[in-house]
């Protein structure tokens, strides 16, 4: 495995080369925050900006979030870890970005850490993979030999709970929500404008941070991300009150994979499962 410093240097070199050659207009990568632990999403637009790029174990942002900010046709280079590359594929499937506009700088990385808790983000809380699914340039050796947990293992405990216990658990979690919408901001797949929660006609849910509106917001958001969530876990890391949103997303992703036989963001030619159908889908899925 290539160490983080080496990846940072490779990232800088590639960014510099691409910007100097004029191949891309912007490089989406990570920049320095107020200390090492708090890096920030960063867009380098000139070769001079490249010096500000960093990469360390705390750079777990999903930069695919920022692809939609640039007008269609802008050439973008993007630093993508495993989950981020799935987000890019999913965005391409949904025709939000075009493959030919992107230069994907793949980062194989194991040992990324949560900024808040310093825990290693392993395969359970990301998609279960450490190498980018799609890339043009790989900035380091592929990661092999790390424990590859099934991404759904972490769910077992919650699935074993009976429905009353699950209800109490989720109610308690959603009641904590302060409706800052950081989950929506961090999510690479949340690009609706306006979001259903911001609509006033019809008003789908109450906007006050109280139980009913919170429940409506979160359940609907899980539904909107069904079959599209690429399991980067950014929503739960962005959450200021630590709601384990990734668990619910993961559960929905698991069900979608079981029912429709396709995981989100793995192949460019797939269609998102909910805008597709098969005549031979079984009615059993409704039971």
Partner 1 sequence: MSFEPKILGIACNWCTYTGADLAGTTRLHYPQNLRVVRVMCSSRINPSFIFRAFQLGADGVLVGGCHPGDCHYNTGNLYARRRLAVTKKILEFAGLEPGRFRVEWISASEGNKFAEVVEEFTAQIKKLGPQQKLKIDELQEKA
Residues of the shown chain interacting with partner 1 in the complex, contacts defined by CB under 8 A: 158, 163-171, 196, 203-206, 208, 210-213, 215-216, 219-220, 222-223, 226-227, 248, 251-252, 255-256, 259-260, 273-279, 281, 283, 285-286
**Nearer Cβ to partner 1, position 101 or 175?**
175
CB of 92 to partner 1, least distance (A): 21
**Nearer Cβ to partner 1, position 118 or 281?**
281
CB of 240 to partner 1, least distance (A): 22
CA-based angle 209:213:217, to the nearest 5?
105
**Nearer Cβ to partner 1, position 101 or 257?**
257
CB of 57 to partner 1, least distance (A): 32
CB of 257 to partner 1, least distance (A): 12
Closest CA to 151 of 236, 243, 254: 254
**Nearer Cβ to partner 1, position 5 or 166?**
166
CB of 174 to partner 1, least distance (A): 9
């Amino acid at each position: 495995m290539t160490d983080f410093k080496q990846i940072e240097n490779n990232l800088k070199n590639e960014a510099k080369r691409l910007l100097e050659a004029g191949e891309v207009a912007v490089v989406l990568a990570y920049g320095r925050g107020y200390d090492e632990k708090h890096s920030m999403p960063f867009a380098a637009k000139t070769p001079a900006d490249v010096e500000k790029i960093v990469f360390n174990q705390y750079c777990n942002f999903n930069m695919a979030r920022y692809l939609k900010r640039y007008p269609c046709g802008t050439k973008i280079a993007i630093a993508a870890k495993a989950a981020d590359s799935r987000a890019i594929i999913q965005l391409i499937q949904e025709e939000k970005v075009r493959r030919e506009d992107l230069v994907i700088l793949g980062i194989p990385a194991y040992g990324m850490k949560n900024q808040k808790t310093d825990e290693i983000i392993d395969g359970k809380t990301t998609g279960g993979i450490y190498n980018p699914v799609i890339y043009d340039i790989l900035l380091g050796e592929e990661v092999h030999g790390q424990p590859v947990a099934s991404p759904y293992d972490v769910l077992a405990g919650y699935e074993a709970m009976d429905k009353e216990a699950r209800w109490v658990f989720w109610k308690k979690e959603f009641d904590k929500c302060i409706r800052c919408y950081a989950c929506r901001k961090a999510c690479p797949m949340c690009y609706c404008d306006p979001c259903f929660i911001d609509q006033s006609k019809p008003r789908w849910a109450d906007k006050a941070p109280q139980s009913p509106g919170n429940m409506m917001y979160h359940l609907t958001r899980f539904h909107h991300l069904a079959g599209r969530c690429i399991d980067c876990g950014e929503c739960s890391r962005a959450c200021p009150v630590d709601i384990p949103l990734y668990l619910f997303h993961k559960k929905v992703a698991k069900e979608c994979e079981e029912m429709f036989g396709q995981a989100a963001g793995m192949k460019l030619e797939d269609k998102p499962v909910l805008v597709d159908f098969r005549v031979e889908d079984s009615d059993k899925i409704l039971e």
